[in-house]
Chains A and B, each alone.
Chain A
């Protein structure tokens, strides 16, 4: 069996982090294809159920990327995201999903290299952690 390749669902805000991903792409900064980018308008738009859905459907990690605090195009959406992510992390832990699998990062539009860094780090971390416990459970059942 080949080496474990984690699947990471990444919810990126349209204004900052998605642009950073675009910048990384156009500046030829390659980041691992493990990161599956889903563009949302704001990190505050990321409903906890999207995160749960991602974990349930086989994601090994979820990354939420938004604008830096004070910088949200929608005034304060990223603050709301921060609050929700903090709560959700606690809940996920109770179901055996390590907090290392659920990241929230602020990446501004100009920070293409930071996006690459985060993508690399998270992929490496998840390779270390192995498949999500939900998937292992799924395999046992299946």
Chain B
């Protein structure tokens, strides 16, 4: 008999989005996750953001799993999260960590909430009677809350807590609480948990204008707010009302709004020599939203130092903000804000475009407050006994943003790595889950094995008889709002209701057995369960039903209290009960006509295909191969390594790509799970989910071969762009940054005698013609080359002509270093580009000096152009082979720019690295790790379990017009010309129902959402209320 392996358990500390993402990914593979958060709720910063660019709305729900949907929540993520394998423990802090990798013992301090969420009936009478009012932290003090409160208004379950610092212990809440949920004497508790691995996702502390000395000249009025507070001012659960943004001081509409960037960051004097990375996009989004939501006449002005639009789609968003929405951007460091006697805020600034000083008044000033990383890092370093690097941050391994140096089993993700945007938080969360999975595989931890409960068969032809089971919630008097006897009598009157049972409690252990006993006596064939929080208990309840002999697809759960309470202020018990009875009718009707659903399992071919042999490709191939997945690595050139691995010796942050590539290549060739195909391209692909067949063509021999695989990771990378501007190619003195880098490394370019070196940034980039995007790495390349030149020849004068220096995050220190080294940075704008002409064989560059405001002519000994990064041509072929999209710039288009950055719409297809957009080496490796994890999670399932609720085809009604094929957003429908029918890929289908509406013949329908059901529901909803009213 095989030894029983322990179930892999991971602690994820911090339940912001990256922590949640890491938890979901691990739970999907089948590991147990303990997700803790120091605050009373989950959601992190994103709980406060109703709007995220580029859609300017929320898309958080898109991070939920696409397959195996039944195991996880299927509702708005801002409410909460539910997954069978995730245990959520808010308001808990890690006090100590003992043991070593694979065997950690974690002491958790569970803070007292004073309200027991398992007893609370959520009627909130306690809140109504609480006499204490304090500023609400969630809304940054814009609104008030009581001492007993719900921290995030949209969370479900509500999870109330008492703020003991504000509480006067008057006991009013205890008196009105009928469920005994409040205990003012509650104490903090300690609990020790054993876990195999720990992921830190605790985010960073944000700069706070009240705490820091250097903010004093700004925070002069309540109308100077942080960017997060402004977010709450635009939220309807914050202070946004009547279509206007209200000024905190007097509630008047704010029309003229200014943003001041780099608040707390990019400040060397305060030892904050970093950029907070996200604030530029944050401010742009807020400025656009303010114009949209603030009513007519809103003016948005952003004062910035460099507008860092380095990510995918960022530059486009900036252009739209300026051109379509009319946001004003002014490059100027504002020194302070003055408060005028009438409350207006005065800003004095210098406009570099007109060279004039201005004094302008604003109604509201938003400070783009950055991160304060060090404290958080110090705390973790002490707790976990790990090292800090020279900057005071947690030391990660050299090429990884995720793995803590020298500490296997410990990983970080999200804003702990430095403030990240949503997309990077997602990638890092997945990558951290990937590292943890690799670690758990390594120590032989097992995944959760589900309890096999056989699915009872259903006879669909039988007349529907519904058994209604109402949960009394044990002795919890939460149900006092409902009269069970009356409700049960009302429901029994309804046709097709066979019986109404009242069950003591479904969720408690003994209650479950009792419920099974009662329900197995029944003669009914369908079951409707009325209980609380159905989204949390749905799967449990369905298991109970299954044990009692009901086919789980013929079981529905409704929220007994929720529906009754909807929209009612102070209902009487009778009103409430009648409302519930009324609402339940629709559920009964829907259940009556529900067909039994079948879950199918499609086998997945266990091979993975990785396209591209650069860093992204090699890393994902290795990561999969270590976990035992057979990988085929296809590279179009004659050697592995890609552009970076074959051309770049050193990067600005001290990495050595060429050496690293050599090292990785060796590992790739040594790994028996990896087959390398050089000089090879993917020509075309047939097949669908779980079973692809790709045609590989070898360029040299012209031979072809066919490869079967279940997943594919596209990591095609990119290369240095080309240009005809500035005489590139006509003179040896004009070259690209890549050429200079190579020349400096090999010694072919000698700078010992050179006097003037001019570098021009953004050549052919960030403009309407050519590359519209920022290539993200050129500023770092230019700085690296410039520093290298200075090192070789300190007397050389290096000029870098830039538009915005994109040294985001901790790259900022190299920008500072370059300026200290005497490298001269000159700003130019797109409408006044530098000009070049050759005079006596030397390039002469003419440009405007924006400080002196005069034109300068420089004879350059070397003119170096930053020509950006171009995607590979082969993306076109790949995109058409796998039917995925390309964006306008030729990069692969991911499923969702924020929430699903490394996936495509169809499961089994992933992307990583520069195929997505240009990015630095460490980010490529992180994305590759994330893509490998997604592919592993998918392949390790061995088969795709389709959801029961998927779309179907009634073949006899179908006229093969294929309109459903065209409308399906997931490509789940296709026309099978061999069989002459429409087929549905049940694993790709997300049951959105577009096809059912599009079909003119009712041939397409979604099981569980059929016309018959919906019609019956509409009828039930419109049925006269009188029919059900009790006879007095």
Q: Is A67 an interface residue (CB 8 A)?
A: yes
In the bound complex, CA of A110 to CA of B479 (Å): 27
Within 8 Å CB of A16, what residues of B? 76
Q: Given A9-B1021, A19-B76, A84-B997, A74–B992 Cβ distance below 8 Å?
A: yes
Q: Is B562 an interface residue (CB 8 A)?
A: yes
Is the beta-carbon distance between A57 and B992 smaller than 8 angstroms? no
Is the beta-carbon distance between B992 and A77 smaller than 8 angstroms? yes
Q: Is B78 an interface residue (CB 8 A)?
A: yes
Within 8 Å CB of B236, what residues of A? 110-114
A67 to B: closest C-beta gap in Å: 7
- Which of B75, B905, B994, B1018 lies at the interface centre, i.e. has the most chain A CB atoms within 10 A of its CB? B1018
Q: Which of B563-598 contact A (CB under 8 A)?
A: 565-569, 579, 586
Is the beta-carbon distance between B994 and A23 smaller than 8 angstroms? no
Of A27, A32, A47, A54, which is within 8 A of B153 by CB?
A: A27
Q: Is B508 an interface residue (CB 8 A)?
A: no
A27 to B: closest C-beta gap in Å: 6
Is the beta-carbon distance between B1011 and A108 smaller than 8 angstroms? no
Q: Given A45-B994, A47-B997, A76-B969, A38–B1021 Cβ distance below 8 Å?
A: yes
Q: Is A63 an interface residue (CB 8 A)?
A: no
Q: Given A40-B993, A47-B1011, A109-B76, A67–B57 Cβ distance below 8 Å?
A: yes
Is the beta-carbon distance between A45 and B997 smaller than 8 angstroms? yes
Q: Is A93 an interface residue (CB 8 A)?
A: no
Is the beta-carbon distance between A45 and B1009 smaller than 8 angstroms? yes
Q: Given A16-B76, A42-B992, A108–B997 Cβ distance below 8 Å?
A: no
Q: Which stretch, B58-66, B700-708, B848-856, B867-875, touches the partner chain A? A: B58-66
A54 to B: closest C-beta gap in Å: 5
Q: Is A141 an interface residue (CB 8 A)?
A: no
Is the beta-carbon distance between A31 and B567 smaller than 8 angstroms? yes
Of A9, A26, A28, which is within 8 A of B156 by CB?
A: A26
B933 to A: closest C-beta gap in Å: 23
Within 8 Å CB of A45, what residues of B? 992-994, 996-997, 1006, 1009
Q: Given A15-B76, A19-B76, A84-B997, A38–B56 Cβ distance below 8 Å?
A: no
In the bound complex, CA of A84 to CA of B967 (Å): 13
Q: Is B158 an interface residue (CB 8 A)?
A: yes
Is the beta-carbon distance between B156 and A22 smaller than 8 angstroms? yes
- Which of B61, B76, B79, B993 lies at the interface centre, i.e. has the most chain A CB atoms within 10 A of its CB? B76
Within 8 Å CB of A112, what residues of B? 153-154, 236-237
Within 8 Å CB of B970, what residues of A? 75
Is the beta-carbon distance between B1022 and A57 smaller than 8 angstroms? yes
What 0/1 pattern do residues 60 to 89 of A give for CB contact below 8 A with B?
Answer: 000000011011011111001000100000
Within 8 Å CB of A44, what residues of B? 992-994, 997
In the bound complex, CA of A46 to CA of B62 (Å): 21
In the bound complex, CA of A30 to CA of B1015 (Å): 27
Is the beta-carbon distance between A14 and B1018 smaller than 8 angstroms? no
In the bound complex, CA of A114 to CA of B237 (Å): 10
In the bound complex, CA of A75 to CA of B124 (Å): 37
Is the beta-carbon distance between A25 and B1021 smaller than 8 angstroms? no
Within 8 Å CB of A22, what residues of B? 79, 156, 562, 566
Q: Is B122 an interface residue (CB 8 A)?
A: yes
Q: Is B650 an interface residue (CB 8 A)?
A: no
Q: Is A33 an interface residue (CB 8 A)?
A: yes
B806 to A: closest C-beta gap in Å: 26
Is the beta-carbon distance between B237 and A74 smaller than 8 angstroms? no
In the bound complex, CA of A22 to CA of B750 (Å): 70
In the bound complex, CA of A33 to CA of B565 (Å): 11
Of B153, B565, B1018, which is within 8 A of A53 by CB?
A: B1018
Is the beta-carbon distance between B994 and A80 smaller than 8 angstroms? yes
Within 8 Å CB of B156, what residues of A? 22, 26
Is the beta-carbon distance between A77 and B994 smaller than 8 angstroms? yes
Is the beta-carbon distance between A25 and B567 smaller than 8 angstroms? yes
What 0/1 pattern do residues 1 to 36 of A give for CB contact below 8 A with B?
Answer: 000000101000011101101111111111111011
Of A33, A36, A70, which is within 8 A of B55 by CB?
A: A70
In the bound complex, CA of A48 to CA of B1014 (Å): 12
In the bound complex, CA of A76 to CA of B992 (Å): 10
Within 8 Å CB of B569, what residues of A? 28, 30
Q: Which residue of A lies closest to B1005 (CB)?
A: A47
Of B61, B62, B122, B235, which is within 8 A of A26 by CB?
A: B122
Q: Which of B40-78 contact A (CB under 8 A)?
A: 50, 55-59, 61-62, 74-76, 78
Is the beta-carbon distance between B1011 and A71 smaller than 8 angstroms? no
Within 8 Å CB of B321, what residues of A? none
Within 8 Å CB of A119, what residues of B? 567
Q: Is B427 an interface residue (CB 8 A)?
A: no
- Which of B57, B62, B156 lies at the interface centre, i.e. has the most chain A CB atoms within 10 A of its CB? B57
A52 to B: closest C-beta gap in Å: 10
Of A15, A46, A48, A53, which is within 8 A of B75 by CB?
A: A15
Q: Is B976 an interface residue (CB 8 A)?
A: no
A29 to B: closest C-beta gap in Å: 8
Q: Is A122 an interface residue (CB 8 A)?
A: no
Q: Which residue of B lies closest to A67 (CB)?
A: B57
- Which of A37, A48, A74 lies at the interface centre, i.e. has the most chain B CB atoms within 10 A of its CB? A74
Is the beta-carbon distance between B566 and A37 smaller than 8 angstroms? yes
Within 8 Å CB of A108, what residues of B? 50, 57-58
Is the beta-carbon distance between B993 and A19 smaller than 8 angstroms? no
Of A26, A37, A74, A114, which is within 8 A of B994 by CB?
A: A74
Is the beta-carbon distance between B994 and A71 smaller than 8 angstroms? no
Is the beta-carbon distance between A57 and B1018 smaller than 8 angstroms? yes
Is the beta-carbon distance between A54 and B1022 smaller than 8 angstroms? yes
In the bound complex, CA of A109 to CA of B76 (Å): 7
Is the beta-carbon distance between B1015 and A53 smaller than 8 angstroms? yes
A62 to B: closest C-beta gap in Å: 10
Q: Which of A98-136 contact B (CB under 8 A)?
A: 108-114, 119
Q: Which residue of B lies closest to A21 (CB)?
A: B566
Q: Is B430 an interface residue (CB 8 A)?
A: no
Q: Is B1017 an interface residue (CB 8 A)?
A: yes
What 0/1 pattern do residues 990 to 1019 of B give for CB contact below 8 A with A?
Answer: 111110110000000010010100110111
B695 to A: closest C-beta gap in Å: 29
Is the beta-carbon distance between B124 and A54 smaller than 8 angstroms? no
Is the beta-carbon distance between A71 and B57 smaller than 8 angstroms? yes
A114 to B: closest C-beta gap in Å: 6
Q: Which of B72-109 contact A (CB under 8 A)?
A: 74-76, 78-79
In the bound complex, CA of A58 to CA of B236 (Å): 34
Is the beta-carbon distance between A110 and B1022 smaller than 8 angstroms? no
Q: Which residue of B lies closest to A57 (CB)?
A: B1022
A58 to B: closest C-beta gap in Å: 5
Q: Which residue of B lies closest to A77 (CB)?
A: B992
In the bound complex, CA of A74 to CA of B967 (Å): 12
Q: Which residue of B lies closest to A68 (CB)?
A: B57
Within 8 Å CB of A74, what residues of B? 969, 990, 992, 994
Q: Is A41 an interface residue (CB 8 A)?
A: yes
B243 to A: closest C-beta gap in Å: 10
Is the beta-carbon distance between B57 and A70 smaller than 8 angstroms? yes
Is the beta-carbon distance between A80 and B567 smaller than 8 angstroms? no
A/B interface sample: 17 pairs, CB < 8 A? A9-B1021, A19-B79, A23-B153, A26-B156, A27-B237, A41-B991, A42-B993, A45-B993, A54-B1018, A59-B1018, A71-B55, A74-B992, A77-B994, A80-B997, A108-B50, A109-B154, A112-B237
Q: Interface residues, chain B, CB within 8 Å of chain A?
A: 50, 55-59, 61-62, 74-76, 78-79, 122, 124, 153-154, 156, 158, 235-237, 241, 562, 565-569, 579, 586, 905, 967, 969-970, 990-994, 996-997, 1006, 1009, 1011, 1014-1015, 1017-1019, 1021-1022
A37-B566, A45-B1009, A74-B990 are known; give 6 further A-B pairs, CB within 8 A: A18-B75, A25-B562, A71-B57, A75-B905, A108-B58, A110-B237
Q: Interface residues, chain A, CB within 8 Å of chain B?
A: 7, 9, 14-16, 18-19, 21-33, 35-38, 40-42, 44-50, 53-54, 57-59, 67-68, 70-71, 73-77, 80, 84, 108-114, 119
Pick the 9 closest A-B CB pairs, nearest first.
Answer: A45-B993, A74-B992, A71-B57, A70-B55, A19-B76, A36-B1021, A75-B969, A25-B566, A109-B76
